Amino acid sequence: MPKSFHPPQRTLLGPGPSDVSPRVLEAMARPTIGHLDPLFVAMMDELKGMLQYAFRTQNALTLPVSAPGSAGMETAFVNLVEAGDQVIVCQNGVFGGRMKENVERCGAIPIMVEDAWGQPVNPNRLEDTLKAHPGVRTVAFVQAETSTGVESDSRTLVEVAHRHDCLAIVDAVTALAGTPVEVDKWGIDAVYAGSQKCLSCTPGLSPVSFNAAAVERIRKRTHKVQSWFLDLNLIMGYWGTGTKRTYHHTAPINALYGLHEALVMLQEEGIENAWARHQRNYEALRDGLEAMGLTLLVEPAHRLPQLNAVRVPEGVNEAAVRDALLNDYSIEIGAGLGPLAGKIWRIGLMGQASNPRNVCILLSALENILSAQGHSLDRGAAISAARAALVGMATEPFG
């Protein structure tokens, strides 16, 4: 006879999901009401407004897709790309490759701008490719590449796209609420994110936002959107304005309670404060890792504060370190993907998990595990370096 599942309490310091606040979990346990209930509809409107705050936009078409970040990606492509279109896709990691896959599945033609994994997208290479392909209407790139921890310059890349009359689709799944995403200021046309990264909600929802130019593209399509479920023309009948909504699908009601609470918490903290917190804790982690003789894959100017790719030292068993962290300390970190498999660890300090206590706990555990594997290090130096970086942060306990 099957029994109820009771998961252990983990500290999630990988590439996502991140730790979920007890406030969010409590919100999700509240009574389920109908997805057309007037009170639920009012909450939907609040949620849209708070997502506009998180994206730094006034876009009316801002909402959470009822599926994970991968569906947010697909929402952007199936609505903005038609069969036969040429789309420039910038790839510097796993998720640029998934963009290419979406373009192909739309019946469109991807034109690739490729940079090395761990390097940001090169705006000059994008410019040259646009000049060589004047028929392109869309440019797509990842701001925060989760597979490497590198951040590309969204503002500059969008400017380049717009100079060539292209719409820009931006993947901000790992970026949103951890590092600046300025949709209106940068002129981003379409952007998608995930609920499970720096928003510290559970997985399963994908915030998206489309500006007026993107909405106009969608309205002028010559063919129906190939996905019924992700067709924004239909979804807006449910997520639109006013009290009367058109049934489209049964929304994940309790998951949306959780996202609503996570966004309330983001507003309570202030998004600029959230960005600064992620940066401070990254600096402490970086100093501690370097004190252990570890190095990071990405150059300092392009590192994501919320996700760091750490090179595995020679002679260290990469998988055994992750296993020991999980089994002995109940800490999860991520492995490398693609050409970086076995060569890096991906350490996330996202959302609620970005705090000094987690920095110190992880560094202490890594010190013990690496020492046991024979990696030469100065015991205690990592914690000392991290604490030195955290001086003055009295409101956040060291643990």
Q: Which of 267, 290, 311 is the endpoint of a domain?
A: 267
- Token reading at 171: 């993947």
Beta-ladder partners of 309:
346
Phi-psi domain of 56 (left: phi exceeds 0; alpha: psi -120 through 50; beta: other): left
CB atoms within 10 A of CB 397: 11
Do 247 and 311 fall into the same domain? Answer: no
Pairwise CA distance, residues 124 & 128, whole Å: 6
Q: Which of 39, 18, 13, 50 lies closest to 267, judged by CA? A: 50
CATH code for position 371? 3.90.1150.10
Pairwise CA distance, residues 317 & 357, whole Å: 26
Residue span of the structural domain in which 67 resides = 22-267
Pairwise CA distance, residues 33 & 263, whole Å: 20
Q: Which of 207, 232, 267 is the endpoint of a domain?
A: 267
Angle at which helices 271-291 and 356-372 pack, to 10 degrees?
20
Q: Which residues contact 358 (CB under 8 A, 6 or more apart)?
A: 11, 13, 281, 349, 399
- Regarding pTM above 0.85, the answer is yes
Do 228 and 288 fall into the same domain? Answer: no
- Domain membership of residue 335 (yes or no) is yes
Sign of CA dihedral 194, 200, 205, 211: negative
Which pLDDT does position 83 carry in this prediction? 97
- Domain membership of residue 131 (yes or no) is yes
- Domain membership of residue 2 (yes or no) is no
Q: Which residues of 310-332 are buried (b: 16+ CB within 10 A; e: fewer)?
A: bbbbeebebeebbebbbeebebb
**How many structural domains is the chain composed of?**
2
Q: Which of 252, 267, 282 is the endpoint of a domain?
A: 267
- Token reading at 384: 């000392």
Digits of tens for pLDDT over the chain (399 positions)?
999 999 999 999 999 999 999 999 999 999 999 999 999 999 999 999 999 999 999 999 999 999 999 999 999 999 999 999 999 999 999 999 999 999 999 999 999 999 999 999 999 999 999 999 999 999 999 999 999 999 999 999 999 999 999 999 999 999 999 999 999 999 999 999 999 999 999 999 999 999 999 999 999 999 999 999 999 999 999 998 766 788 999 999 999 999 999 999 999 999 999 999 999 999 999 999 999 999 999 999 999 999 999 999 999 999 999 999 999 999 999 999 999 999 999 999 999 999 999 999 999 999 999 999 999 999 999 999 999 999 855 444 433
H helices, E strands: number in the chain: 14, 14
CATH code for position 193? 3.40.640.10
Which pLDDT does position 397 carry in this prediction? 41
Helix residue spans in the chain (DSSP H): 22-28, 38-55, 69-80, 94-105, 123-132, 154-163, 183-186, 212-219, 232-239, 253-269, 271-291, 318-329, 356-372, 381-389
Cα separations in angstroms, 130 against 120, 139, 141, 265 = 18, 9, 14, 41
- Domain membership of residue 140 (yes or no) is yes
* DSSP letter string, 371-393: HHTT----TTHHHHHHHHHTTT-
Longest dimension (CA), the chain: 66
